[in-house]
Amino acid sequence: MNNIYIYDGDFISLLNIILYLLKNNLHPENIKTDVYHPSLFENTIYLSILKNEKIIDQIISAFGQYAMRSMYYVFLSKEENKELILYYFFQNALKRRHKIMYYHNLKCVSEVLRISNYVRHETHKMKGFLRFKELEKNILYAEMEPTNNILFLVSCHFVNRLKNEFWVIKDNKRKIISIYDKKQFVIVKEEEFKLSQKESKGEQNIEFLWRIFYKTIGIKERRNERCRMNFMPKKYWKYITEVKEEL
């Protein structure tokens, strides 16, 4: 029978389920969140397993910080079968322990590396590409549509960068919002938070000045559209103040 194990979409639950499956020698066909629609030939199984938070520390001490972080990044990715990849990674890590990340010849390791790097890169890009608007009452507001679920990682960056500002970042793809109150940020669903989108008085002028700068700083004798696209893919342009008009 093709057993699909179901979890609640939480990282810690997923790790606990994987550990349970491995301990009991159960081979999943796949592991999916509870929004999954199984086909006729698939059997979905809900396990009620305690959500043990200590598993994070256990993984760090058994496989190392780097492996732990990479697993988390894979979890945040849009990869179709990421849960299953993490299952195989976990299985092999139990054998290789701290050395697991060196085993590039194992498919699950090279997959974890590839996917986690992708998430890491996108996060790094977004630290640069995110654009805030100033709303009334000095609130900074930004929207994005990243390929991977990086709102948490991006928010961590802006906690340090814009420490003494009120800011709000919205992921339009996943309909979630991160809100920062000068102390900490929380991530909530779109419908749980209402915000007046009215811009501050000076906003249009600053955006205008920025566009002037952007247009001026390129050297026309060196024009290189291909290079620009490579570094700043079109999929991000919709929210980038200085280029969205070119779309």
Residues that bind other proteins (CB under 8 A): 99, 102-105, 110, 113-114, 124, 127-134, 140, 142, 158, 160-165, 202, 206, 208-210, 212-228, 230-232, 240-243
To other proteins, the closest distance from the beta carbon of 111 in angstroms equals 9
Q: Which 8-state DSSP code applies to residue 219?
A: -
Residues across the chain: 247
To other proteins, the closest distance from the beta carbon of 10 in angstroms equals 30
To other proteins, the closest distance from the beta carbon of 55 in angstroms equals 26
Whether the Cβ atoms of residue 167 and residue 221 lie closer than 8 Å to each other: no
Give the residue ranges of DSSP H helices in the chain.
11-23, 55-63, 65-76, 82-96, 107-129, 151-161, 203-217, 225-231
To other proteins, the closest distance from the beta carbon of 184 in angstroms equals 15
Whether the Cβ atoms of residue 187 and residue 210 lie closer than 8 Å to each other: no
Residue written as tokens 């609130």? 139
**From CA 84, how far away is CA 14, in angstroms rounded?**
10
* Lookup: tokens for 93: 């890590």
